């Protein structure tokens, strides 16, 4: 992982073999990130995507083990229990299929070029028992 900064924006470049979610979690911890938006593109040959079923209150996952372009990577980095929480969605295009949803993991096959824009908001995630997931919260009067 390499990164550079200009103002409140970082450019994070991941190399072949790096896993996107864990690399961004490590990056966020290194710079003490509490709130940011994420946008990027890249390529993967091994990924896990998920969709949360709000009726059954569980995630369904799909493994993608094929060369795929990451045509869209978006999401945020916030805090959960005082630690970085990376929440990403992605659209992956293989030669024969397009799949999108929650990105659980993706191993970079060539590169990933990711922009992280920092926001001065103190965030947290709290479990919502009515929905079954950790929802984003923040402190009022910032």
As a dihedral over the C-alpha atoms of residue 19, residue 25, residue 26, residue 30, rounded to 10 degrees, the angle is: 150
65-124: pLDDT as tens digits: 999 999 999 999 999 999 999 999 999 999 989 999 999 999 999 999 999 999 999 999
32-69: pLDDT as tens digits: 999 999 999 999 999 999 999 999 999 999 999 999 99
Q: Which residues are registered as beta bridge partners of 64?
A: 47
Domains of the chain with CATH codes: 2-138 (3.30.1330.80)
- For the entire predicted model, the pTM comes to 0.93
Query: By C-alpha distance, which of 71, 68, 142, 58 is closest to 108?
Result: 68
φ/ψ bin of 124: left (φ > 0), alpha (ψ from -120 to 50), beta (otherwise):
beta
CB 122 within 8 A of CB 138: yes
């Amino acid at each position: 992982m390499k990164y550079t900064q200009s103002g409140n924006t970082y450019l994070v470049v991941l190399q072949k073999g790096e896993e996107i979610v864990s690399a961004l979690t490590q990056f966020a911890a290194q710079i003490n990130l509490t709130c940011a938006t994420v946008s990027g593109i890249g390529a993967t040959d091994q990924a896990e995507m998920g969709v949360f079923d709000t009726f059954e209150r569980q995630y369904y996952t799909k493994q993608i083990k094929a060369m795929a372009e990451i045509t869209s990577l978006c999401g945020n980095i916030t805090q959960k229990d005082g630690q970085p929480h990376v929440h990403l969605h992605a659209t992956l295009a293989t030669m024969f299929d397009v799949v999108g949803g929650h990105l659980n993991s993706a191993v970079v096959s060539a590169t990933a070029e990711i922009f992280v824009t920092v926001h001065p908001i103190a965030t947290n995630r709290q479990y919502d028992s009515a929905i079954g997931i950790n929802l984003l919260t923040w402190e009022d009067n910032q």
